[in-house]
Amino acid sequence: MKPIPTLEAASGLRLIMRRIKAILRPVDFITDRARQYGDFYQLKLKNAPPTVMTSNPQAIENIFTASTDKFEVGRGNKMLTFLVGDNSLLLLDGKEHKNRRRLLMPPFHGESLQKCSDQIVAITNKVIADWQPNKAFTVRPVMQEITLRVMLSVVFGIDSGTRYDRLRELLTALLDIFNTPLSSSFMFFSFLQKDWGKFSPWGRFLLLKQEIRQLIYAEIAERRELLASGTSGLRDIFSLLLLAKDENGEGMTDEELHDELITLLFAGHETTASALAWLFYWIHYLPEVQDKLRFELDSVGENPDYKTINNLTYLDAIVSETLRIYPIVAGAFGRILTQPISVMGYDLEPKTWLMVSIYSLHHREDLYPDPEQFKPERFLQKTYSPYEYIPFGGGNRRCIGSALALLEMKLVTTTVLSRFQLDLTSNHPLFPVRRGLTLAPPSSFKMRIKNKLA
């Protein structure tokens, strides 16, 4: 058996310091590990199964193409229970995961994107309607407002009303609790998850989460009545979930519905908001990128349809490079082996954790020359395999909303650029910071409205 390179074990204070570095300086932490241990290594802790980390395309292919019965993924995501509940797609495995995924896929693909595209453009125009020249704005809240409204519309089929407005406010407030690297530590250290009242971070989190839960349960009850009476013509994801039956003819419980809706709302807007913030940064940080993009947009005339925008080659390359250089999620979901498996000639035993580093993969010099430089052209010159470029993960755990997220990034960008010229308030380069489980631009990132075009 070929020995696996092993990272020096740590415990006690040293282990805590490593975790703190991973939270406060995630990119440095990932880069240092890759530089020191290569693209395939394991970490062994006392009284714990080994964790294997890889950013090797061959190893990733071995993992993503292996039979799904060789892994458990849900158990590896249990740390997310506090946020999404026990019944989330993220925490399911086996047949249950397969069936739930099959149920959720259609609304995010195919003809459903046509309806989504109209909603995305309308929502973007509504959010930016009051923009005026020479005004500065903080980028993240704007992008978060757009993506949250889109997900509420796509998931719930609603875009107004007292409950809708309150839910939008609460979801934003909940996620903003983890908007700094320091506050994100509550996700990683269970001893910090203590309720010391409504003015403590965790106490506030629990209060917000409970009110969100009550609103969603009220929406479930109301929607069940509408569907039972036959007066609802809604075909949103929420209604589809309510109508779905398993092989025994049983529908989803209120708790299962709540957990799935929360998962879709959080995963569907938080990550896309960060990606959009990065996209606007890169377009305006590099003038040549903006010039090429505006030339491409001018070539398709006024009011192009969503398919035309979705197929613009340079815009697609900018989006791809944005998700490469600073992937929103640094690593794919951990997979826990249930059976022996061979990866790159290494024999791995059951209970081993397999982790894929998306960030390290996307910064391999052999795949992406000058990986620290933003170069959209690399995606015009080469087609990368699903084991070399994985911003949405891979295998049976690839993000179900990837097509919607990509379309949303393109439509929001083209809608804003068609109406305004923007610039950065500072030319200093931005670097990723931790925001909860994701990598995002600093929350202080601002832009200025330079001119109004339409």
Establish if 272 belongs to a structural domain.
yes
The alpha helices in 246-349, defined as continuous H runs, are: 254-285, 287-299, 306-310, 313-325
Tell me the Cα Rg of the chain: 22
pLDDT at 435: 86
Please, what's the largest Cα pairwise distance for the chain?
66
More confident residue, 16 or 340: 340
DSSP string, 9-68: P--HHHHHHHHHHHHHSHHHHHHHHHHHHTTEEEE--TTS--EEEE--HHHHHHHHHS-G
Query: Would you give the end-to-end CA distance of the chain in angstroms?
Result: 66
Establish if 148 belongs to a structural domain.
yes
Average pLDDT over residues 401-410: 94
Owner of token pair 């696996």: 4
- Joined together, the tokens standing for residue 297 give 């947009």
Exposure letters 119-149 (e unless 16+ CB within 10 A, then b): bbbebbeebbeeeeeeeeeebbebbbbbbbb
Query: Measuring CA to CA, how many Å separate 21 from each of 27, 186, 354?
Result: 9, 14, 21
Establish if 53 belongs to a structural domain.
yes
More confident residue, 77 or 51: 51
Whether the pLDDT of residue 221 is over 80: the answer is yes
Phi-psi region of 364 (alpha: psi -120 to 50; beta: other; left: phi over 0): beta
pLDDT at 310: 93
Q: Which residues contact 223 (CB under 8 A, 6 or more apart)?
A: 232, 234, 238, 239, 242
Q: Which residues contact 247 (CB under 8 A, 6 or more apart)?
A: none
Which domain covers residue 408, as residue numbers? 6-452
Domain count, the chain: 1
Q: How many Å apart are CA 103 and CA 116, to the nearest integer?
A: 18
pLDDT band for position 145 (cuts 50, 70, 90): very high
Establish if 104 belongs to a structural domain.
yes
Please state at what angle helix 162-176 crosses helix 254-285, rounded to 10 degrees.
Answer: 70
- The type of residue at 130 is D
Q: What percent of the chain has pLDDT over 90?
A: 51
pLDDT at 8: 65
pLDDT at 186: 66
Establish if 304 belongs to a structural domain.
yes
pLDDT band for position 431 (cuts 50, 70, 90): very high
Whether the pLDDT of residue 1 is over 60: the answer is no
Mean pLDDT score of the chain: 88
- Joined together, the tokens standing for residue 431 give 């670097």
- The type of residue at 30 is I
Whether the pLDDT of residue 378 is over 80: the answer is yes
pLDDT at 382: 96
Establish if 1 belongs to a structural domain.
no
pLDDT band for position 384 (cuts 50, 70, 90): very high
Annotated binding-site ranges for heme: 399
pLDDT band for position 78 (cuts 50, 70, 90): confident
The full 3-state SS of 354-386, as one line of letters, equals EEEEHHHHCCCCCCCCCCCCCCCCHHHHCCCCC
Instruction: List, for residues 282-307, the tens digit of each pLDDT value.
Output: 999 999 999 999 999 999 988 888 89
CATH, residue 398: 1.10.630.10
Q: How many Å apart are CA 162 and CA 144, to the nearest integer?
A: 20
Q: Which of 367, 297, 383, 284 is nearest to 325 (CA)?
A: 367
Q: What percent of the chain has pLDDT over 70?
A: 93
Annotated binding-site ranges: 399
pLDDT at 79: 78
Average pLDDT over residues 252-266: 89
More confident residue, 279 or 264: 279
Average pLDDT over residues 129-139: 95
pLDDT at 188: 66
pLDDT at 19: 72
Residue pair 362/381 in contact (Cβ under 8 Å)? The answer is no
Average pLDDT over residues 153-181: 82
Burial class of residue 70 (count of CB atoms within 10 Å of its CB; 0-12, 13-18, 19+): middle
DSSP string, 219-253: HHHHHHHHHHHT-----SHHHHHHH---TTS----
Q: In what order do the strands lie in the sheet with 420-424?
A: 136-138, 446-452, 420-424
